[in-house]
Amino acid sequence: MTSTVEYTGQLRTICTHLASGSPIETDAPTDNHGLGQRFSPTDLTATSLATCMVTVMGIKARSLDFDLNGIHVNVTKTMAGAPRRIARIDLVFEIPSPLQELDPRTIDILKKIGDTCPVRLSLHPEIEVQIDWGAWS
């Protein structure tokens, strides 16, 4: 088992990662009967894409003897109705100065690895994903 999810009422859950005991709380968004005070399930999906990308990129960077510390990703999720679903995820990468100096080949390798991370490959093909690589564009 990977995790447990407990419904705690008022459209909220507590999710617990079993190996570490680390919790995440969720809340329904304000546009779907919730208070929007925590990540919604669809927020987690969009955010998981960004975390997966930088994680696999970080693994590759480590194998090349450098670190991706300081990369920041701004995540925007856009919902569609009928049926209610994620329609689009926009990711905007902010690349710190030292990483802007990487050679173009290394940047291309990192971008390809990020763009083919497990979460990206698991998303429904109708979800539009737009990536702005910032200084790596």
- Give me the pLDDT at residue 24, please: 97
Same domain flag for 84 and 131: yes
Same domain flag for 18 and 57: no
Same domain flag for 76 and 106: yes
Q: Say which CATH number the domain at 115 has.
A: 3.30.300.20
Exposed / middle / buried, residue 61 (Cβ in 10 Å: 0-12, 13-18, 19+):
buried
The answer for residues whose C-beta is within 8 angstroms of residue 104's C-beta and 6 or more apart is none
pLDDT band of residue 73 (cuts 50, 70, 90) is: very high
pLDDT band of residue 77 (cuts 50, 70, 90) is: very high
Same domain flag for 23 and 88: no
Find the radius of gyration of the CA atoms of the chain: 17
- Give me the pLDDT at residue 125, please: 97
* pLDDT per position as a tens digit, 84-134: 999 999 999 999 999 999 999 999 999 999 999 999 999 999 999 999 999
CA 94, distance to chain mean position in Å, is 14
- Give me the pLDDT at residue 103, please: 97
- Give me the pLDDT at residue 63, please: 98
Same domain flag for 57 and 74: yes
Same domain flag for 67 and 109: yes
> Mean pLDDT for the chain?
97
Coil, helix or strand for 128?
strand
* pLDDT per position as a tens digit, 13-27: 999 999 999 999 999
Same domain flag for 8 and 66: no
Same domain flag for 125 and 114: yes
- Give me the pLDDT at residue 54, please: 98
Same domain flag for 53 and 29: no
Same domain flag for 31 and 46: no
* pLDDT per position as a tens digit, 44-58: 999 999 999 999 999
Instruction: Provide long-range contacts, Cβ within 8 A and 24+ apart, for 92-95.
Output: 92/132, 92/134, 93/131, 93/132, 93/133, 93/134, 93/136, 94/134, 95/71, 95/133, 95/134, 95/135, 95/136
Same domain flag for 44 and 108: yes
Same domain flag for 124 and 75: yes
Which structural domain range is residue 130 located in? 40-136
pLDDT band of residue 65 (cuts 50, 70, 90) is: very high
Report the domain count for the chain: 2
